[in-house]
Structure 1
Amino acid sequence: MVEKSLVLIKPDAVERNLIGKIVDAYESNGLKVIAMRLLKVSEGLAEIHYKEHEGKAFYKSLIEYITRSPLCALVLEGENAISEIRRINGATDPKAAEANTIRSLYAIDKTENSVHASDSKESALREISLWFPEVINKLELEHIS
């Protein structure tokens, strides 16, 4: 089934000029970039994006990290995109990530792990609507047609 998912190439990876290598990992695995932008995330957007972590010990540092410098947000599309992207990314903790995954290759640690991806269809819809509302509007129109 063709799916869409949000990916964030996080500040640590952007700072180290890894956008191209990371996008290539997705494209080389049959995924297509349908939207992309480089931006410095506002604290407000970061708080909405990470709302489920509010109140946790790491929440404040997570917001500081994701807003410290630009990141690259993208929407990828492909067969079983959500699970495929998560496979390509590898485990959140790079020490536990399989060899040759994005996190095994580029993550600094569990926090600065280079990428974020939606973990379900529901999360993908919510996250894409936050970062790329124009893509969601287009999808809704295509669905109605």
Structure 2
Amino acid sequence: MAGHLSLAIIKPHAVFSRKVGRIISDVEDAGFGVIAGKMLLLREEGAREFYKEHEGKDFFPYLVKVMSSGPVWILLLAKNNCVEEWRNFIGATNPAEAAVGTLRHKYGDHVN
């Protein structure tokens, strides 16, 4: 099933603002299968480890702070060409630059 799975993380701001259900519905409506989902609290050390490829970049401290600021939802998604399809569906990193109809345009929070 290589190329058919991807990991998605719904950030704390979306959990706090009670958008998780709507986001998951949008994900399923876009043809992604949600194979598994789990809410968890990503502690600072866990966020640092998960995002270690970005260590040393200007945004790294902010990313760690945001991702460890509250609960996140982790989703395992399935779809043909899943990684590329997911990247297209979530949109540009900066929600202000994300195309209309993408998750980040619809639900995204500001980027520091």
TM-score, reference length from structure 2: 0.91
Residue number in structure 1 paired with 2:20: 19
User: Within the alignment, does 1:83 sit opposite 2:84 as a pair?
Assistant: yes
CA shift at 1:62, angstroms? 1.3
Share of identical aligned residues, percent? 37
Following the alignment from structure 1 to structure 2, what is the Cα–Cα distance between the partners of residues 89 and 72?
Answer: 15
Query: What is the aligned length?
Result: 111
Name the SS for the 1:95 alignment partner.
helix
User: Within the alignment, does 1:62 sit opposite 2:66 as a pair?
Assistant: no
Name the SS for the 1:100 alignment partner.
coil
Amino acid in structure 2 at the alignment position of 1:61: Y
Amino acid in structure 2 at the alignment position of 1:64: K
CA shift at 1:108, angstroms? 2.0
Following the alignment from structure 1 to structure 2, what is the Cα–Cα distance between the partners of residues 106 and 29?
Answer: 15
Following the alignment from structure 1 to structure 2, what is the Cα–Cα distance between the partners of residues 44 and 78?
Answer: 31
User: Within the alignment, does 1:97 sit opposite 2:95 as a pair?
Assistant: no
Following the alignment from structure 1 to structure 2, what is the Cα–Cα distance between the partners of residues 110 and 57?
Answer: 12
CA shift at 1:58, angstroms? 2.1
Name the SS for the 1:82 alignment partner.
helix
Following the alignment from structure 2 to structure 1, what is the Cα–Cα distance between the partners of residues 14 and 100?
Answer: 18
Q: Which runs of 5+ in 2 are unaligned?
A: none
Residue number in structure 2 paired with 1:73: 74
In 2, are the aligned partners of 1:25 and 1:88 still within 8 Å (CA)?
no
Following the alignment from structure 2 to structure 1, what is the Cα–Cα distance between the partners of residues 97 and 33?
Answer: 27
In 2, are the aligned partners of 1:34 and 1:77 still within 8 Å (CA)?
yes
CA shift at 1:110, angstroms? 2.2
Following the alignment from structure 2 to structure 1, what is the Cα–Cα distance between the partners of residues 98 and 59?
Answer: 21
Name the SS for the 1:33 alignment partner.
strand
